[in-house]
Amino acid sequence: MALIVEDGSGTVIGVNSYVTLDEVKDYATARGEPFASSDSEIEGFAVKAKDYLESFRGQFSGKKTSVTQVLQYPRVGSTVDGDAFPSDAIPQELKNAQCQLCIDCAEYGDLSPSTDGYAIASEKVDVIEIEYASGGRLSGNSLPAAPQFPKAQAWIDPLLDNMGGLITTVRV
């Protein structure tokens, strides 16, 4: 499977990535984390990383330039760190996030595993026994089982609509 990269037009047919294979390799090498994986495996990581990024669809600032475009970028009204970003380009932060997620995918596997939010407290192999921590995600008594990717999140945060959940009080 070859990567078909979004060029900022929103019209690329079969698009499945924001970055090229070489961009992923260069990013990893620059950070001392070169891949031991084959090119086809790295391409698979890139598609999984793109899928993870697309899950932020409702949080990115702005809106897609066209309802028919496949990916979330390019976007109209998009901002990076609160500054306007061109509607015919892909932010470097998004590309960096995808590259970082490729590294994370190589290390951890699935970026979006199905989970009930409970961390496994203990595990027994013979006569299979699994015990879950009490409380789960909502009570705060245990850590969620879903993985966290802080390096990638640091690249994603500047692209998010930080005003989305903010309530403003105005005195009249």
Spatial CA neighbour of 90 closest among 172, 168, 167, 23: 23
Give the confidence band of 23 by pLDDT, cuts at 50, 70, 90: very high
| Structure confidence by residue, pLDDT tens digits, 111-138 | 987 765 555 556 667 777 766 555 444 4
| Structure confidence by residue, pLDDT tens digits, 84-115 | 999 999 999 999 999 999 999 999 888 987 76
Q: What does the pLDDT average to over 127-154?
A: 66
Length of the chain measured in residues: 172
| Structure confidence by residue, pLDDT tens digits, 26-76 | 999 999 998 888 999 999 999 999 999 999 999 999 999 999 999 999 999
- Same domain? For 88 and 136 the reply is no
- Same domain? For 73 and 139 the reply is no
pLDDT over 60 (residue 78) = yes
Annotate 113-142 with DSSP letters as a single string. ----SPPEEEEETTTTEEEEPSSHHHHSSS
- Same domain? For 70 and 95 the reply is yes
- Compare 79 and 126 and report the one with higher pLDDT: 79
Lowest mean pLDDT among 61-70, 73-82, 141-150: 141-150
- Same domain? For 21 and 57 the reply is yes
- Same domain? For 73 and 142 the reply is no
- Same domain? For 50 and 64 the reply is yes
- Same domain? For 48 and 123 the reply is no
- Same domain? For 153 and 90 the reply is yes
- Same domain? For 97 and 126 the reply is no
- Same domain? For 135 and 155 the reply is no
Domain that holds residue 120: 115-146
Residue 54 has what pLDDT?
A: 97
Pairing between β-strand 75-76 and β-strand 63-64 as defined by DSSP bridges? antiparallel
- Same domain? For 134 and 62 the reply is no
- Same domain? For 63 and 129 the reply is no
- Compare 56 and 141 and report the one with higher pLDDT: 56
Lowest mean pLDDT among 13-22, 53-62, 158-167: 158-167
What's the total number of domains in the chain?
Answer: 2
| Residue 129 CA to its chain's centroid (Å) | 33
Residue 1 has what pLDDT?
A: 75
How far separated are the first and last CA of the chain, in Å rounded?
59
Residue 113 has what pLDDT?
A: 76
Spatial CA neighbour of 28 closest among 147, 148, 152, 111: 152
What are the CB-based long-range contacts (under 8 Å, 24+) for 29-33?
31/103, 33/103
